[in-house]
Structure 1
Amino acid sequence: MPNLAAAAAARLSVAPMMDWTDRHCRFFHRVLSRNALLYTEMVTAPALVRGGALHLLEHSAEEHPVALQLGGSDPTELAQAARLGAAAGYCEINLNCGCPSDRVQSGTFGAVLMRDPALVARAFRMMQGAVEVPVTVKCRIGVDEQIPAETLPEFLSQLVGAGCERVIIHARKAWLKGLSPKENRDIPPLDYALVHEMKALFPNLIIDINGGIETLDQTRGFLDAGLDGVMVGRAAYHRPWDILGTADAVIWGDTPRCATPEAAAIAMIPYIEAHLAGGGRLHQVTRHMLGLFAGRPGARLWRRVLSEGANRPDAGPALLEEALETVQAASRAA
């Protein structure tokens, strides 16, 4: 199924990150960039299909373009979950074949699926057959004792044979035993060259690269070198202005949504007011905004004011304005 529109948005995407890329985070990231493709946290197919946890699919129209990442290993269940995700309005359904956590392994999905490309291909076929939106796969270059240069081409070949048109490759192995999920994000060496080799081997497959990408200059470099998209994870979360604040101009040649990080903070106030009016708490939103001024005067004070005050029951937009005033004062003094 053609997914050129999703691929255009995915020239830069923000990775699905558990406990981070919830709907409040995604709304904030959308304030920063109108074009970047955003992903949900991973949602498990069993939670949706067996548990009926449809609240996990809640999101706002303002977040689009936004994709749903699913975890699971049963093709029939994944197809049912994909159908629910498409009905909820997501523009893409992504299958997680990269998460190395123990919890994910115990459910026989995530990175462990790299060991069974035939199962992944079968799941892909059923998922894509169940929905009209594009289905994609996010994977590692390999797991454990696999030799990625040998096993990754076979994995991709089976996906292409199943009709897959876009894959996001995290350019690290995952060690399912012996390394924690955090260590799996840092210790296995990056092999960007192998991802480029896969693009040469599968020129018609849309390939996005992920893993260890810290700057828009790196992003631009991967795109200029022939890869189709770049997925940024922790850097986009911890330094959102550096990655997303200028991405529309740098990656798409578009006018930025906000001229400054201060303007982005102010743009969040109506959303915060609506969230509080609905019974939400300030920290549920502002915890995702702590890195907005990273590397700029007043960044530490911004984090401190929000971290210390946002959990108070009466905390509201006034606290955000107070934090912003500390940043502006620090900027004037710099």
Structure 2
Amino acid sequence: MSIINNQYCSDPGAVIFGKNENSTVSVSTLIGSSVGLLISIIAFIMLIMTAVLFKEWRESRKNQLLIQFMIARIFYITVRYIIDFRNHFYAHEARCVLYLDFICLVYTEYALICWMFIFSMKLNDSLVKVFNTSESPLWKVSLGTWLIPAFVTALLWISFTMQTDRELLFFLLYLLLLKWPVLCANAIFLITALNAVIRSNISKSENNVKIVLVMLILIFGFSLQQTLIDIYKIVHLLIIDYYVTFYLNIINIIMIYHCAFSILFWLFGNAKTRKLWRREKPKLPTSSELNFRMSIQ
């Protein structure tokens, strides 16, 4: 089986559009995905505007990591959308174009997984660790997180081109040895962080509690989506079936809207960010609030 000539190259992330151009489902997924991508791009623009306008917000290391995490996410859904859109209308592409699709999609997918892991690790450290620990310079973290996926993509591409009869095997090794271990480690960080938040008995008056809880759940949900997509993808490669493609369509559309909601919730679910946009001066904590914060530390 050739993955490049079959479905993986045109679909390492998910199938957005079915091959039946006249079907109602295909048109519906086209409209739904297009609207979701537009909303995600608008949300991302608002994220960048927040970083540009408010120095206090962009100087936070967590927000700096968040920006790069969301850049990787927008790259991923945009590249996948463009390629799947083209494949929907131009089913027969030159092999070199398919390899280019493969490189772009694998790189953006793995870069997104790595940035999700880095961001989840930062959330876990801030919620679980009692004492502050030394952190690597941001430029080193950023450089490594963007370059490691490039190395993985190059290695996978070389493996595919050298032994075209074992493409499915290399694809499974990519999932089992590279992608899923990162997703599992990410899930462990998120579960540990959730447990820390729940067990800390934080007061409802704390502004960041709800957003942290929802954000952890959102990222965990994204990890679950990726795992389901990979499982459906394997089934789709082995057994070409309409219903598998249909479920991939549904999960993909959910993922696109999930991206937009995650960005908007991180921005405007946070009371401090809303105050920045309303140009309100932050209120100083009362003595009772200070005492409470010291007690939970």
Please give the range of the TM-score, normalised by the shorter of the 2 chains: under 0.3
Between structure 1 and structure 2, the one with the greater Rg is 2
Q: Which has the higher strand share?
A: 1
Larger relative contact order (CA 8 Å, sep ≥ 6)? 2
Q: Which has the higher helix share?
A: 2
Q: TM-score, normalised by structure 2?
A: 0.25
